[in-house]
Amino acid sequence: MFKRAKQNRVFQDVVEQIQDAIVTKKLAPGTRLPAERDLKEMFNTSRGTLREALRVLEQKGLIEIKLGVTGGAIVKRIDTDPIMESLALLIRSGEVSLGHLSEFRIKIEGSLVELATERATPDDIQEMERLFAKARHCFENQDWETFLKTDEAMHTFIGFMTRNPVFQFVQKSIHENIHRYYRDYLPMNHERTLENLTDFEKIIAAMKAKDGATASAIITDHVRRFHDKMTGKQP
């Protein structure tokens, strides 16, 4: 599976060969990589270079390094957690601003919701209604923090409804990290939560009617309206 690394770029070549074997499914999740001494011979490289390459692959979330007699480098299932963590750090550092997020959502989220409406199953609609009922319960009990988490779950589930892993990842990444801006710029209260609920009630109604254009228009207006509130463009 592996061949000798190019000597002018040994470290990079080791990383790329193992990474390629994982992402092309030549190495399935749960597979144990060959022993260190065997990998050294396959790649014709030093122990130090090999170990550094394995550490990079571990940081990428592609392998898990276990210590001990029964340890070794184990291939992990590829997931989006490391990427979402990076986005979260960018948001917390201010590198991704509220304006950046809103601009992206205004351009993209309407199309995403339209696709979700087109592909929604009866079970999907039922789950949206369940989440909406939970959000309404939070509103009635003035539980603003749980309301925000439920709002996050509704947006994330809309991504799931597209059946497109790219949209699923984008929606989950954005909405697991955006609520710090609500805390900083627009803390939830009775009026704002009711407005949010009303928008979602209309979106779900449009989804049930298979009216993707209306659902798209509502959520685009929702994103723009709440962005304007957070940036002080409206009282």
pLDDT digits (tens, 9 = 90+) for 69-121: 778 999 998 876 777 777 777 777 778 888 888 899 999 999 999 999 999 99
**What CA–CA distance (Å, rounded) separates 62 from 76?**
5
Domain range holding 194? 81-230
Residue 5 lies in a domain: no
Give the CB-side neighbour count of residue 229, counting CA atoms within 13 A. Answer: 18
Residue 1 lies in a domain: no
Compute the average pLDDT of residues 127-151.
96
If we measure between CA atoms, which residue out of 90, 98, 113, 111 comes closest to residue 227?
98
Residue 127 neighbours by CB under 8 Å, 6+ apart: 157
Instruction: Looking at the structure, tell me whether residues 56 and 86 fall in a common domain.
Output: no
Kindly report the pTM of this predicted structure. Answer: 0.74
Instruction: Looking at the structure, tell me whether residues 71 and 88 fall in a common domain.
Output: no
**What CA–CA distance (Å, rounded) separates 64 from 172?**
24
Domain end position, chosen among 52, 75, 98: 75
State the CATH number of the domain containing residue 58.
Answer: 1.10.10.10
pLDDT tens-digit map of 145-180: 999 999 999 999 999 999 999 899 889 888 888 877
